[in-house]
A and B are shown apart, each in its own frame.
Chain A
């Protein structure tokens, strides 16, 4: 069973002259243990695609199945629960809560989902890898955008989700950091058997991918 199965998905925004047909009959599968990279220029629909497979947006047509169950068969609450338990979202805009220190961002997850999160040692390992362990007591406003992006990645990994969806996870990172994040995502797929889907226009990530997809610009 594949982690994700996307069948004939179309997404149309607006109507009349403002109509944008973003996704055309998209079919896509992602297995656990693999890293899929979806590349495409800005405006090609990458974020829209990720929003749909994350269950936040119901496509105009087509079906999306996660862990064998169609989103249409899940209630709003069940979709929330799925994202909380099983999907690690790394968003393009991190919007970390400004009044929580880095450490508190993880505490918040503990409050909402007390079980199944990374252990302290595992979390420290992730923070170490991402080079943000010394920032635990800082507020987001005290961090550079690259640091914020890495905190957002750690935040998404903390609930130990089986699926990781990342939108431009390296946009704010320099070369060496891109390699760090690339290999971290790769090892989550290979060593921890997670299904990792990354959408990006950053070709520096190509070397870490198992499957590479390309998205054409919307027409």
Chain B
């Protein structure tokens, strides 16, 4: 640590360059991670807020709740742990507002999912043309008491409540009654719900034409979801490898320049582990400083970023990401360490 600190102090410019590089990379990684998490949440916030573990869909719905229709018989008998849920894509339209795509989710107010929805303001749905909506619509200028039309339904719907983070597949959710779902779908006979969702992991449907999935299976099948996650993970992974290479290259160059000095120290009996320790702590100090500055930048970004940008700053997740960057850098410092271990004191004995 002594040698590393002294060197960083003396070589401010070089160290500054490396730190600047780490700052940029870690900042980029932090922002990408927050974006990835934000996007993931906008895909899954609603479904995660329902408190469901298992969901039964039509077996031919391709694990897509919107494509699922269950008859009364297929839905089976529900215990208090199960609930109906009807989902359909809708377009909300009102004077003075742009058209808004959304998912209408019809629920039975007596069942657990409807009770689980947390209201930010207003009250729960009591009538067929009352809705509780994601607060994204608030950002679009809607207020409590405002109304809009949904698809071709003649009667207007009134916003009676707002709820936070109710997004499904990056689209705001409009909660209403299950009967309204049937009306919007134009169903007169037959299906009673899109899916049956259960709180418990033990729940399993055995009816013909149905299949029960875990919540994660449903999430993984959300259109575009996995491709998005994969894209982000790849970018983040590459950046981490790049940070490792940068540290390896910079430290290697710095170490090469010091080899004669190190050789003299070895001749004087300074153990290799002191020099290895200096190299590793140098890498640690540079990366840690870079990470700290990157974190500050990320925090500042989090404060000034507009609410529309889907960024979620999750401190434990970012801490893990930071830790991985640190570990990558330490791995990167193994290349120069190998050089240090191979320093031959005899190489500098001759002089000049």
Residues in chain A within 8 A of chain B (CB atoms): 47-48, 50-51, 54, 56-57, 77, 80-85, 87, 89, 91-100, 104, 107-108, 111-112, 139, 155-156, 167-168
A98-B10, A99-B11 as given contacts; A84 in contact with B270, CB under 8 Å: yes
Which B33-57 residues have C-beta < 8 A from chain A? none
Pairs across A and B, CB under 8 Å, 20 listed: A47-B349, A47-B350, A56-B345, A80-B269, A80-B271, A81-B269, A82-B269, A85-B269, A92-B352, A93-B260, A93-B348, A93-B352, A97-B3, A97-B261, A97-B265, A98-B261, A99-B3, A99-B7, A107-B2, A111-B274
Contact, CB under 8 Å: A93 / B271: no
* B261 interface neighbour in A83, A89, A96, A107, Cβ under 8 Å: A96
Shortest Cβ gap from A60 to chain B (Å): 14
Q: A212 to B351, alpha carbons, bound, how many Å?
A: 23
- Flag if B261 contacts A50 (CB, 8 Å): no
Knowing A51-B346, A100-B6, A108-B3, say if A168 contacts B351 (CB, 8 Å). yes
Cβ contacts under 8 Å, B266 to chain A:
80
Residue of A nearest to B6 (CB): A99
Q: Which residues of B contact A87 (CB under 8 A)?
A: 269
By secondary structure, the B interface counts as helix
Could you say which interface size class chain B belongs to?
20 to 34
Residue B188 interfacial (CB < 8 Å): no
For residue B263, CB closer than 8 A to chain A, the reply is yes
Extra inter-chain contacts (5) besides given A81-B269, A96-B261, CB under 8 Å? A47-B351, A51-B346, A91-B264, A91-B349, A97-B3
CB under 8 Å from chain A, chain B span 300-352: 345-346, 348-352
B267 at the interface (CB under 8 A from A): yes
Contact across chains for B349 and A92 when beta carbons are under 8 A apart: yes
A117 CB to nearest B CB, Å? 13
Chain B CB within 10 A, most for which of A77, A83, A89, A95: A95
Give, as a whole number of angstroms, the nearest-CB distance from A196 to chain B: 16
Q: Residue-by-residue, is B177-200 near A (CB-CB < 8 Å gives 1, otherwise 0)? A: 000000000000000000000000
**Measured between C-beta atoms, what is the minimum distance from B273 to chain A in Å?**
10
Q: Check if B79 is an interface residue, CB within 8 A of chain A.
A: no
Give Cα distance in the complex from A8 to B266, angstroms.
27
The answer to whether A95 and B2 have CB atoms under 8 Å apart is no
The docked-state distance in angstroms from the alpha carbon of A93 to that of B263 is 11
Q: Are A99 and B9 in contact (CB under 8 A)?
A: yes
CA A167 to CA B268, docked complex, whole Å: 13
Given A99-B6, A100-B6: A54 and B352 interface contact (C-beta under 8 Å): no
Task: Check A92 against B351 for contact (C-beta < 8 Å).
Answer: yes
- Report Cα–Cα, A77/B273, bound state, in Å: 11
- Chain B min CB distance to A74 (Å): 12
Report the minimal beta-carbon distance from B75 to chain A, rounded to whole angstroms.
75
Residues in B whose Cβ lies below 8 Å from that of A85: 269
The residue from A51, A54, A94, A139 contacting B10, defined by CB atoms under 8 A apart: A139
User: How far does the Cβ of B33 sit from chain A's closest Cβ, in whole Å?
Assistant: 35
Give Cα A51–Cα B349 distance, bound, in whole angstroms.
7
Q: How far is the CB of B69 from chain A (nearest CB, A)?
A: 74
Give Cα A155 to B267, complex, Å: 13
Contacting pair B346 A94 (CB below 8 A): no
Chain A residue contacts of B3, Cβ below 8 A? 97, 99-100, 108
Taking the closest CB of chain B, its distance from the CB of A111, in whole angstroms, is 5
1/0 per residue, CB under 8 A from A, across B252-291: the answer is 0000001011011111111100100000000000000000
Q: Which residues of chain B are within 8 angstroms of A95 by Cβ–Cβ distance?
A: 260-261, 263-264, 348
Q: By the criterion CB–CB under 8 Å, are A99 and B10 in contact?
A: yes
Residues of B within 8 A of A107 (CB): 2
Residues of A within 8 A of B269 (CB): 80-85, 87
Question: In the assembled complex, which residues on chain A have CB atoms less than 8 Å from the CB atom of B349?
Answer: 47-48, 50-51, 56-57, 91-92, 167
